[in-house]
Chain A
Amino acid sequence: MSGFPILSLMLAVPLVAAILCLYAGDRNARMIALVATLIDFALGVVLWANFDIGGAQWQFVERADLFGRFSYKLGIDGMALMLIMLSVFLMPLCILASWDAIKQRVGLYMAMFLIMEVVMIGVFMAQDLLLFYIFFEAGLIPMYFIIGIWGGANRKYAAFKFFLYTLLGSVLMLIAMIAMIAEAGTTDIPTLLNYDFPVEMQTWLWLAFFASLAVKMPMWPVHTWLPDAHVQAPTAGSMILAGVLLKLGAYGFIRFMMPMFPDASAQLMWLVFGLSMVAVVYTSLVALVQNDMKKLIAYSSVAHMAIVTAGLFAFNQQGIEGALIIMLSHGVVSAALFFCVGVIYDRLHTREIDRYGGLAVNMPAYALFFMLFTMASIGLPGTSGFVGEFLSLLGIYEASSVVAFVCTTGIILGAAYMLYLYRRVVFGELTKDDVKAMPDLNPREWAIMAPLAAVALWMGVYPESFLAPMRSDVTTVVARLAPAKPAGDAHLAAGKPKPAAAHGENAHGSSHAGGVQ
């Protein structure tokens, strides 16, 4: 398997399919897109199965010096593998979700989604700084079309805002990249990861990267493009936006900013923590008062991403692992929640919460799935959300108890707005006639809900499957950060056993001490 260019193949399949879709009729385009994304998913599974956990940091490396100044170099580590899996897993579901909802210009739509897939997995595979940037930016084009052509009433404004906002952030990153390439003399990411930039330069580079990634993330106060983009985008567009595109920012944090600029990351930790704390509380409160379901979930995404940034900047194993699991979990759960909105939107063509109510009566299966994803979003033990939030909050607590405290309130608020949403949509009296007429899930919708639910539970019950490939990568990052890491305020120390009763004193003492690090 080692010599086979599986990563290139994963990029080529959707690309070829995208070109075919442009020339195919509506029905064929749907089929081509579904088959291509399923092939890519299958390739992803093969990739995961062949990934050597605990082996070399970079696997499946391919390199071709095609471009003179930079090279076509692909390769993945555990973190990239998991995010690629997330992308290829969500993609066929997105295609299915738009099966009936998209009726106009289907070929173009499917082509845009397939190009989106190429670009997204390309970002995670790229091992060359410029190649990464090209993939990173290229995502703007298909998303601009997806929001602008097939979006809601205010789609043009949202598409512009999305495009220009994210472009403005990214261009500063490009200047930083140019400076890095000039300083280090290479575009090779693995080499750059171990290059020690001068401390003063790091700060500038860090800020430039932050300008770009914070917008993508999105962090408060540059998150305002997200609610607009989400509300206007078609269901599948929101799914992929929340599911994968938001992860690009966090991926950039952990792939570039933290290991490449460890000193600057430590110096500016307060900035990330500060913005994250504001975001968790503020956006949760904003989510609480929304009348638009998609907007509510969009704001909840901002809040979840803020816990991710705080977890990453905790600079310890638990914090980073937790943040990564939240990224994966949020990818699945928010995509599922947007799909839940899409299901009822397709039936009633409104996202206004007050127009619904009592769906538990006539749509029991839907209510069940919606409940599961609501709980996963809140972080109920047993669902994927819990694992990530628990781990990252643990990590954050080690770094700063104040941040941990504020972030935890976000989880409580999260429970408030999600349960409030659920109550208004699903419970209550089934009074409205048009709502009464809504049928329960059809087989296609089942086929989308079931895998999402299965993964959300799998990640909640046995997160080790997802953590294992990433663990050594996180250790590498933590080790890289260790010299710059400021002391946390937790001062964790082994507790002193109480002077116990005379019998069995030694046995008690040792078991206690082992429990705390």
Chain B
Amino acid sequence: MTADLMLIWPELILTIGGLITLMLGTFMGDRQVGIYQLSSLLTLAAAAAAVVALFGVETTVFSGTLSVDAFGGFAKLLIYAASFICILVAPRFFTGAMRAEYPTLILFAALGMGIMASSRDLMTLYVGLELNSLAAYVLASFMRTDERSSEAGLKYFVLGALASGMLLYGISLLYGFTGTTDFAGIAAAMGGELNIGLIFGIVFVLSGLGFKISAVPFHMWTPDVYEGAPTPVTTFFASAPKVAAMALMTRVVIDAMGPAVGAWQQIVIFLALASIILGAVGAIGQKNIKRLLAYSSINNVGFMLIGLAAGTQQGVEGVLTYLLVYLVTTLGAFLVVLQLRDAGGNQVESIPALAGLSQRRPGLAAAMSVFLFSLAGIPPLFGFWPKYLVFEAAVNANLVPLAVAGIVASVIGAFYYIAIIKTMYFDDKSEVDVTGGGNAVEGTIVAASALWLSAIGYLFIPMLAVASAHAASVLF
């Protein structure tokens, strides 16, 4: 038991750090932003350091319910980094309304996501998922007085509860027909003949997880929640939970359902193509940049699922690389959105208001173009590389029709990305004077991520390849 505790340092640090942050907020008041922000950032940094310190450990703890391995470590590092940035940029957005609950909730959500990424039992899976979700529901409605924010929270909660219900139903079926909640045990049971109960279980579990990664047809909540939630929270939703849910889905599919390839592969293929196409088509008519980025995240999840559909180590490597690059791009894009303020300092979210941004804020417009071209996967921007990897995995797994369909549909996606660039560069200046909102910290992060995505990232491919191969090899 004690030995097991020594192996979950990241989780322990997050729990204790979260509680300390909560206490700090309670006793020192919400005004002391600097103090509780610092404590939460230090907690995340320490947790990340603990993940790094555990590098090379490959084992399971607590009777095989949680695994400590490179795959979970890779995902956790991404999750902690995204959470770090989301806490960092929040005070400026909330200004007077900043409360200590914000970093606390993010820490607990990060804890839950860490558990999701390393669970190897249906029970830990559910505990991690709910810990994350409950924190997320509150975060979505963080601006209590704002109608849109409350609506987003409620919507997220209702649909999230539905998804959890489906997931639980699937879990109960899997348990009922295999007699175990352990991934390895389930996999062993799936090695034999698949009965109808197991297939139902697979379908329901994947549907529940589909909600969490917002894959079509379980994506309906995404645009509304992304639009309604405060922008730093949206930034958080679009980044860290995507990593966690995708990592979880990968683990479930490969570890628990591995032998039943035929059963889950068609589901994943359907989710992938539907997400790519609907994510692209749905984005075309959007007038709100946050809604548009919501559709873009649906679209990108579809591409990740192509890598997962391959079901090979190469495919999982592709998914992991994709998650990293997607994370950088999304964080960058949302930080740009955070900086879009009119002269009075009010947030600007409408796309037509961005007209002529390239003349008002050339640096910001250039960075946004880099992120958008990168999301569209146009070389030489680095967003091309993960797309290449997942398509390569699909082709090598003899899924050529899937790869062709996916890549052709990616052209539809390119349409709305270049449409925003058109608005920023080709259109005449809008009436909204988007000039306010420059900030050194955010600007530096935006510049760094844009620079990394603009071709410099290619120099990191050898490193990324080693890391993702190491992480993915755990599952095979």
A interface residues (Cβ-Cβ under 8 A, vs B): 66-69, 105, 108, 130, 133-135, 137-138, 140-141, 144-145, 148-149, 155-156, 159-160, 163-164, 167-168, 171-172, 174-175, 178-179, 181-182
Contacts and interface: CB of A to CB of B under 8 A. Distances in A.
A134 B465 CA distance: 19
B474 interface: no
B322 interface: no
A171 to B, nearest CB: 4
Nearest to B459: A66
Task: For chain B, give the interface size range.
Answer: 20 to 34
B96 to A, nearest CB: 38
Given A137-B379, A179-B395, A149 B425 contact: yes
A67 B382 CA distance: 12
A348 to B, nearest CB: 25
Which 3 pairs of residues, A with B, have the shortest CB-CB distance? A68-B462, A134-B379, A68-B461
B308 to A, nearest CB: 17
Contacts of B373: 141
Contacts of A155: 426
Contact of A67 (B359, B418, B425, B458): B458
Contacts of A178: 388, 391-392, 395-396, 403
Nearest to B464: A68
Interface in B406-425: 407-408, 410-411, 414-415, 418-419, 421-422, 425
A171 B378 CA distance: 10
A69 B461 contact: yes
Interface string B348-382: 00000000001100100000000001000011100
B264 interface: no
Given A163-B418, A172-B404, A148 B425 contact: yes
B124 to A, nearest CB: 35
Contacts of B419: 160
B407 A174 contact: yes
B400 interface: yes
B427 to A, nearest CB: 8
Interface string B319-334: 0000000000000000
A135 B373 CA distance: 15
B379 A148 contact: no
B157 interface: no
A164 B409 CA distance: 11
Given A134-B380, A141-B373, A171-B408, A160 B415 contact: yes
Given A141-B373, A164-B415, A172-B408, A182 B422 contact: no
State the main secondary structure of chain A at its contact with B. Answer: helix
B407 A69 contact: no
A323 to B, nearest CB: 28
Contacts of B80: none
B428 to A, nearest CB: 11
Given A160-B415, A167-B414, A171-B411, 15 more contacts: A66-B458, A68-B465, A108-B358, A130-B388, A137-B380, A138-B378, A141-B378, A148-B425, A156-B422, A159-B422, A160-B419, A163-B418, A171-B410, A179-B400, A182-B396
A164 B461 contact: no
A61 to B, nearest CB: 20
A156 B426 CA distance: 7
B407 A160 contact: no
A164 B414 contact: yes
A175 B422 contact: no
16 contacts: A66-B458, A67-B458, A67-B459, A68-B465, A137-B378, A137-B380, A138-B380, A145-B425, A149-B426, A167-B411, A168-B411, A171-B411, A172-B408, A178-B395, A178-B396, A179-B395
Contacts of B237: none
B384 interface: yes
Nearest to A208: B404
A136 B359 CA distance: 29
Contacts of B388: 130, 174, 178
B375 to A, nearest CB: 14
Nearest to A182: B396
A138 B380 CA distance: 5
A86 to B, nearest CB: 22
B392 A182 contact: yes
Contacts of A163: 414, 418
A171 B410 CA distance: 9
Contacts of B359: 105
Nearest to B427: A156
B397 to A, nearest CB: 10
B408 A168 contact: yes
Contacts of A168: 408, 411
Interface in B451-476: 458-459, 461-462, 465
Contacts of A134: 379-380, 384
A175 B400 contact: yes
A175 B415 contact: no
A175 B461 contact: no
Contacts of A171: 407-408, 410-411
A69 B468 CA distance: 13
A67 to B, nearest CB: 5
B273 to A, nearest CB: 15
Contacts of B458: 66-67
A175 B426 contact: no
B412 to A, nearest CB: 9
Contact of A172 (B392, B407, B459): B407
Contact of A138 (B358, B379, B421): B379
Nearest to B376: A167
Contacts of A135: 380
A175 B405 CA distance: 10
- Which among B358, B422, B465 has the greatest number of chain A C-beta atoms within 10 A? B422
A46 to B, nearest CB: 26
Contacts of A172: 404, 407-408
A149 B423 CA distance: 11
Interface string B413-449: 0110011011001100000000000000000000000
- Which among B379, B391, B403 has the greatest number of chain A C-beta atoms within 10 A? B379
Nearest to A68: B462
- Which among A69, A140, A155, A159 has the greatest number of chain B C-beta atoms within 10 A? A69
A140 B462 CA distance: 27
A155 B419 CA distance: 13
A111 to B, nearest CB: 10
B396 A175 contact: no
A1 B461 CA distance: 31
A512 B457 CA distance: 65
Contacts of B395: 175, 178-179, 182
Contacts of B407: 171-172, 174-175
A314 B404 CA distance: 31
Contacts of B378: 137-138, 140-141, 167
Nearest to A104: B359
Contacts of A138: 378-380
A167 B379 CA distance: 11
B418 A160 contact: yes
A144 B403 contact: no
B422 A160 contact: yes
- Which among A159, A160, A175 has the greatest number of chain B C-beta atoms within 10 A? A175
Contacts of B391: 174-175, 178
Nearest to B363: A22
A77 to B, nearest CB: 24
Nearest to B463: A68
B422 A164 contact: no
Nearest to A115: B380
Contacts of A144: 418, 421
Nearest to B408: A171
B325 to A, nearest CB: 14
B136 to A, nearest CB: 35
Contacts of B380: 134-135, 137-138
B52 to A, nearest CB: 22
B396 A148 contact: no
A72 B462 CA distance: 13
Nearest to A130: B388
